[in-house]
Amino acid sequence: MVGAIDSAGGISPAARLLGNFILGGMALAGSILVAYGWSTYKGEETWALVIFSVGVSLLTIVAVGLVGGQSARVNVALTAVSLGASIYLANAWLFFTDEPPQGRLSAAAAADPSFDLRTIPDVVEDLRRTGAEAYPRAPIHYLIGLPGVEPYLERLLPLGGLSRVTTVLCNESGTYVTFGADRYGFNNDDTAYDSKDGIKALVVGDSFAQGMCVPQGEETAGLLRSRGINAVTVGNLANGPLLELATLIEYGRAWQPPVVFWLYYANDLDDLAQERKSARLRAYLKGTRQNLIERQAEVDSLLKSIFDAEIFKRGEDAEEETVRQGVEAMRSPAVRLREFITLYHLRKLINLDRQILLPQTDETMSLFEKIVRAADDEVRGWGGRLYFVYLADWQSFAQRPIGSRNAVLQSVEDAGIPILDFETIMRESDDPLAYFPYRAPNHYTSEGYNLLVDKLMEFVYGPESERS
């Protein structure tokens, strides 16, 4: 601190003034943090404790300076400034070397000019011009909350898609993925149902279980079949825990596979907030069924009515716009400046972030625990075994881990269900982001799904050398 020592060897007035000013600022900041931590403790215990501790630490440093006299105040102030400057320099380096978030299409198009930028409705229309019976994917989660759809769902709630049609799924690698839907509208080789040995493994989950965004046969169920396990998937885009329980009861109970893989993704608890509004879905907690296997003709008729009314197309467009606006907001100068001031990039590096530490509400977790236990009881009821697979997500590697992770894993562990933590497995690889197309917030590449299935095979059926 320039001018800290005067000509007589004492503390200069300017140094004393500056030292007192810095300590005063630290005292104010510490008091604010303590008050904030105290006021937000209820419901945000872990995050509030972190804030409270930082505030107490600042106040403790100020107290040391005050007790030690004027010389100590200057030294404490000098140390605080030096430490603060070092911290912000480290954060600045991370800030300028960290790429701001990009949308899937913008990242892909920038990397590959030949990337197919058509929309799903465009692809459907182009396929129909060639004579194909083509339809878009049918995420039931979106249909439940889509304005104008409710009257269509009064007589039944579909859980799969249109059967035996060409389904346009997605595009994350440059080329649109389509699949020939099976007899129940799912992404399976229909001959799997004709095996005299029956279904040996069922894959339940959302878009990752459905196979976004790889060619048919390169998704989890298809890769299991290629390894000798007659598996099928009942996964569907945006399925959350209640929809996953519903598909398990509707289809799993009929096939009674000895192994069920529940692929859980980080945003499933968010999906549950929408699903819980559906009385028909909540009824599955009591074991209610719609007998959808025998009603596929009704499902097909219903979904065609919705698609022909173009209600779903408007919903897809609205969803894309929401995602686009969210990405733009994350890239805005105001957000980036706030991230710099609050040391976001440094906190992200050490996993010290509110979204990491903030738990789900007790109500949400309580419902999730009921669903998990109901699913396990269902599978055990026919003599099978449920395996819970915690999937790796792009955000946990590129930005921040999901805050509900520990609570979810603890709930499943408490229920006595075996867990495969695929996020930890992928994190051990040299470059986890390489398993996501264009290193963007996409689903897995074919290599990612192959790694997942290799680990599933080892986890359930043992090392390859020991399989009969």
Give pLDDT tens digits for 112-125.
Answer: 778 888 888 889 99
pLDDT of residue 431: 94
DSSP 290: -
pLDDT exceeds 60 at position 398:
yes
> What mean pLDDT, rounded, does the chain reach?
83
pLDDT of residue 446: 97
- Structural contact between residues 263 and 224, judged by C-beta atoms closer than 8 angstroms: no
Cis amide linkage into residue 170, ω under 30° from 0: no
Write down the domain spans for the chain.
13-97, 109-466
pLDDT exceeds 80 at position 153:
yes
| Average pLDDT of span 184-209 | 97
pLDDT of residue 123: 93
Say if strands 259-264 and 177-180 run parallel, antiparallel, or are unpaired.
unpaired
φ, ψ of residue 56 in degrees (nearest 5)? -65, -40
DSSP 3: T
Q: What is the pLDDT of residues 313-324, one digit of tens each?
A: 554 554 454 444
| Average pLDDT of span 409-437 | 95
- Structural contact between residues 359 and 401, judged by C-beta atoms closer than 8 angstroms: no
Q: How far apart are CA 170 and CA 363, in angstroms?
A: 34
**CATH code linked to domain 109-466:** 3.40.50.1110
pLDDT of residue 8: 44
The torsion defined by the Cα of 421, 425, 431 and 435, in degrees rounded to 10, comes to -60
pLDDT exceeds 70 at position 239:
yes
pLDDT category at 327 given cuts 50, 70, 90 is very low
Q: How far apart are CA 73 and CA 18, in angstroms?
A: 10
pLDDT exceeds 50 at position 400:
yes
pLDDT exceeds 70 at position 46:
no
pLDDT category at 427 given cuts 50, 70, 90 is very high
Which candidate, 150, 113, 166, places its Cα nearest to that of 278?
150
pLDDT of residue 371: 97
pLDDT category at 377 given cuts 50, 70, 90 is very high
Look at 399 and 65; give whichever has higher pLDDT. 65
Q: What is the pLDDT of residues 79-114, one digit of tens each?
A: 877 777 777 677 676 666 665 544 555 556 566 778
pLDDT of residue 50: 72
pLDDT of residue 324: 47
Look at 39 and 427; give whichever has higher pLDDT. 427
